[in-house]
Amino acid sequence: MPRSVLFMIALAACSSPMRVRSGADPHFDFAALKSYGWLPSPDAGDPRIHDERLEQRVKRAADAALQAKGYRLVTEGADFMVRYYAVLADRTTVERLNASFDYDGVWNPDFGPQAMRPGEEYSRPYTQGTLVLDILDTHSRRLIWRASAQTEVDLRKAASDQGTRVVREAVDTMLKEFPPGAKAQGAEAW
């Protein structure tokens, strides 16, 4: 498999929960929106995420979610435009081996055993992936709504068959907040 991997595919292997946030322009009339189109996604310059397969999966998932809400995908004259982008970041966390846990070691990132005592702290590197969906007003190109999904990803499992399902889950979860309404729960106004 090429070095270019889809980090969103790897979400299926994540142990950390997905964090989703959304926000909207409180002055925009979302009720007037009926059709949408796609804008090109900016190139993040990271070959691990700049991949046509990721784009296809995100667009298919977003198209399905938006069309289920009654929006039509059009090539011209759209009421709003959609774009996505993805980011990977290398992070490190400090964890403590659970004292009640019966195992006397942990596996280091190279899959080798690492001796540990219960209660001992160790640092663990991980990759954090973020997927962002933007909704822009077609006429002004002004951002009117944004959502992001963020979680730990495992790039070693990027070829997983669960990738399409996980991308769909991330996109569906984000688009639950669209369009924002007067009683939308969880959406932040900016």
Contact 26, 189 (CB under 8 A): yes
Mean per-residue pLDDT over the chain, rounded: 77
Residue 117, in any domain of the structure: no
Pick the more confident residue, 156 or 148: 148
- pLDDT for res 95: 74
* Cβ atoms within 10 Å of 53's Cβ, excluding its own: 16
pLDDT > 70? residue 101: no
3 state DSSP class of 111: coil
Contact 190, 35 (CB under 8 A): no
Number of domains in the chain: 1
Residues with Cβ within 8 Å of residue 34, at least 6 apart in sequence: 70, 71, 72, 79
Residue 96, in any domain of the structure: no
pLDDT range class, residue 97, cuts 50, 70, 90: low
pLDDT tens profile 14-70: 446 889 999 999 999 999 999 999 998 877 677 777 677 788 889 999 999 999 999
Report the alpha-carbon distance of residue 22 to residue 82 in Å, rounded. 14
Residue 43, in any domain of the structure: yes
Report the alpha-carbon distance of residue 41 to residue 58 in Å, rounded. 11
- pLDDT for res 171: 94
pLDDT > 50? residue 165: yes
Span 131-150, average pLDDT: 95
pLDDT > 50? residue 2: no
Report the alpha-carbon distance of residue 17 to residue 170 in Å, rounded. 11
pLDDT > 50? residue 136: yes
Domain that holds residue 30: 1-91+139-151
pLDDT > 90? residue 158: no
Residue 101, in any domain of the structure: no
- pLDDT for res 121: 75
**φ and ψ at 169, to 5 degrees?**
-60, -45
Residue 37, in any domain of the structure: yes
- pLDDT for res 10: 42
pLDDT > 80? residue 81: yes
Residue 45, in any domain of the structure: yes
Residue 74, in any domain of the structure: yes
Q: Dig out the tokens for 39 from the structure.
A: 């804008």
